Amino acid sequence: MAAGLMSMGYAGAASGSAASLAPSYLPKKDRYARLTSNENPFGPSPSAKKALKAAIDDSFLYPREYRQTLIELIAKEEGVSEDHILLGAGSSELLHAAARVYGGAKGKVLSADPTYTSLIRSAEMMGSEWIKIPLDKNFDHDLSTMEYKVKPGVSLVYLVNPNNPTGKIMTGEEIIGFCNTVSSKVPVFVDEAYWDYMENPKGSTTTACIKEGANVIVARTFSKVHAFAGLRVGYCIAQPEVIKELAKEGPRNTLSGPSMSAATASLVDYDFIKYSVKMNNEGKKFVYDVLEKTGHDYFPSHTNFILFPIAMDYADFKKKMLDNGVGIKSMNVGGQDYCRVSMGKMEDLEMFAGAFQKVIGTTINKS
Ligand SMILES: Cc1ncc(COP(=O)(O)O)c(C=O)c1O
Which regions of the chain are under pLDDT 70?
A: 1-30, 365-367
CA-CA-CA-CA torsion sign (270, 271, 274, 280): negative
Q: Do residues 177 and 188 touch, judged by C-beta distance below 8 A?
A: no
Say if residues 302 and 312 touch (Cβ distance below 8 Å). Answer: no
Which of 197, 350, 354 has the alpha carbon at shortest distance from 286? 350
CA distances from 332 to 197, 200, 319 (A): 26, 31, 15
CA of 136 to the centre of ligand 1 (A): 23
Q: What number of H helices and E strands is found in the chain?
A: 14, 12
Q: Tell me the longest C-alpha to C-alpha distance in the chain.
A: 62
Q: What is the pLDDT of residues 28-66, one digit of tens each?
A: 666 789 999 999 999 999 999 999 999 999 999 999 999
How many C-beta neighbours within 10 Å does residue 286 have? Answer: 16
The separation between the first and the last C-alpha atoms of the chain, rounded to the nearest angstrom, is 31
Atom 15 (ligand 1) nearest CA: 193
Q: Looking at ligand 1, which atom is closest to the CA of residue 233?
A: 10
Structure confidence by residue, pLDDT tens digits, 216-238: 999 999 999 999 999 999 999 99
Whether 175 and 204 have beta carbons less than 8 Å apart is answered as yes
Q: Which atom of ligand 1 is nearest to the CA of 93?
A: 11
In the reported structure, the alpha carbon of residue 122 is separated from the centroid of ligand 1 by a whole-number distance in angstroms of 14
pLDDT at 28: 64
DSSP 164: T
Give the nearest ligand 1 atom to 234 CA: 10
Q: Which is nearest to 199 in space by CA: 138, 134, 271, 278?
A: 278
How far, in Å, is the centroid of ligand 1 from the Cα of 92? Answer: 6
Q: Which residues contact 140 (CB under 8 A, 6 or more apart)?
A: 168, 170
Sheet containing 336-342: order of strands: 305-310, 336-342, 329-333
Instruction: Indicate whether residue 255 lines ligand 1 (CB < 6 A).
Output: no
In contact, 32 and 21? CB cutoff 8 Å: yes
Given the DSSP bridges, would you call strands 336-342 and 305-310 parallel, antiparallel or unpaired? Answer: antiparallel
Q: Give the number of other CB atoms < 10 A from CB of residue 150.
A: 18
Cα–Cα dist 31/19, whole Å: 5
Q: Which of 36, 38, 92, 190 to mutate to test the pocket of ligand 1 (most atoms within 8 A of CB)?
A: 92
Burial class (CB in 10 A: 0-12, 13-18, 19+), 144: exposed
**Nearest residue (CA) to ligand 1, atom 12:** 193
Q: Residue type at 70?
A: L
- All structural domains of the chain, each given as residue ranges with its CATH number in brackets, are 2-43+270-359 (3.90.1150.10), 46-267 (3.40.640.10)
Check pocket membership of 91 for ligand 1, CB cut-off 6 A: yes
Rounded-to-integer distance, Cα 15 and Cα 43, Å: 9
Ligand 1: atom nearest CA of 160 is 1
Cα of 14 vs centre of ligand 1, distance in Å, is 20
Q: How far is the CA of 44 from the centre of ligand 1 (A)?
A: 17
Q: What is the pLDDT of residue 12?
A: 47
Which run of H or of E encompasses 220?
A: strand 216-221
Q: Provide, rounded to the nearest whole percent, the portion of the chain with pLDDT above 90.
A: 86
Ligand 1 contact, 90 CB (< 6 A)? yes
Instruction: Say what the pLDDT of residue 367 is.
Output: 55
